[in-house]
Amino acid sequence: MKLFPQGAALLVERIGGATAAKATFTLLEPPRLGDHAAAFAFALGVFSRGVAGFAPAAVGHRVVHGGTRFVAPTLVTPEVEVEIDRLSRLAPLHNPGNLAALRAALAALPGVPQVAVFDTAFHATLPPRAYLYGLPLAYAQDGVRRYGFHGPSHDFVSRRAGELLGRDRSELRIVTLHLGNGASAAAVDHGRSVDTTMGFTPMEGLLMGTRSGDIDPGVVLYLLREGLSVDEVDDLLNKGSGLKGMSGVSNDVRDVSAAAAAGGEGAAAALDVFAYRVRKVVGAYAAVLGGLDAVVFTGGIGENSAALRGAALAGLEFLGVTVDEARNARGETTISAEGARVAVLVVPTDEELMIADAAATVLRASHEES
């Protein structure tokens, strides 16, 4: 379920069946919803009125951080609920909200199975050389390591890339680029995530809408010594940096692009850094994968900004990555040049479908075991 100021998007998965229905509702007067319980109750009301015979067999929840405990979609039990709460220390901006929504669903739909689908699970296949930081190993044993996020999105678009290329994902070396207000890349080697840019938290990696991405840890120490509090540094790096902080305009790439076109130096620099970091990661992941078969763009920026797609891949012809400018401008699914060694694709992500499929799979498995 997603609720937007402009409307609500709904994916209803017919659990155990072969079909799914997706409907969009436009809310003419979006209500003020004070908490997750109110939001969930409102959504149930909308869905009940809008979908004949609406009776969910299960509820799928996106949970950002699963730590090392949860490496696959999981049926929620009281013990799982406690563990998700415990993992809030690793994702204080995300897991508490995820847990609040889960508890709202448990209260509103008693007896209906709840399935947690973890952002981190797709990256559970990272090898130690990719997930370890240069710290004493005792810290990794305490959970301080790379986890990666946007898992359902990277999973979906890498699968879809295989379908579009007429090959199984297990045959391909793919770099997936989820570029939106949050941005991350993943190296997918024959269906397995082997590296990703987000780390211990979703702050690491690429430049984002309001997040700094990669930054020298010494900068954090400098800011603290300059008198900023821990909370102020947290707020700066999470909410006041990235495209918004650099441009001084907005976290929306459309606003930043307009400001750059009008001569804004900060906006132009922000776009240049954004594209440069993506380009650098594609090159690095080509080395990790031993070559490339496909590069896949997704997310709000990845799907809609032809200019940033082109800028991000400029100069990578030596890797076999060549973008056809006309195809890119038209927003076609395949934007690589004819005959290019590496396919470049634009694939709309569908995290809701991945979560619904995961819920269906877990529900079927639980029925088979019982």
pLDDT tens by residue, 239-248: 999 999 999 9
Instruction: State the CATH class of domain 167-346.
Output: alpha beta
Whether 2-118 and 167-346 share one fold: the answer is yes
- The larger pLDDT score, comparing residue 14 to residue 73, is at 73
pLDDT number for residue 18: 40
Provide, for the chain, the percentages of residues in helix, strand and coil under a 3-state DSSP scheme, each rounded to the nearest 5: 45, 15, 35
Does 10 or 111 have the greater pLDDT score? 111
Annotated active-site residue in 35, 119, 168, 357? 119
Rama region for 116: left / alpha / beta (φ>0; ψ in -120 to 50; rest): beta
pLDDT band at 33 (very low <50, low <70, confident <90, very high): confident
Q: Which residues pair with 22 in a beta bridge?
A: 11
Mean pLDDT of the chain: 91
pLDDT band at 231 (very low <50, low <70, confident <90, very high): very high
pLDDT at 13 over 50: no
Residue ranges of domains in the chain:
2-118, 167-346
**Superfamily classification of domain 2-118:** ATPase, nucleotide binding domain (3.30.420.40)
Instruction: Determine the average pLDDT of the residues in 336-343.
Output: 98
| Active-site residue, 119 included | yes
Band of residue 26 on the pLDDT scale cut at 50, 70, 90: low
The pairing of strands 2-3 and 7-13 is antiparallel
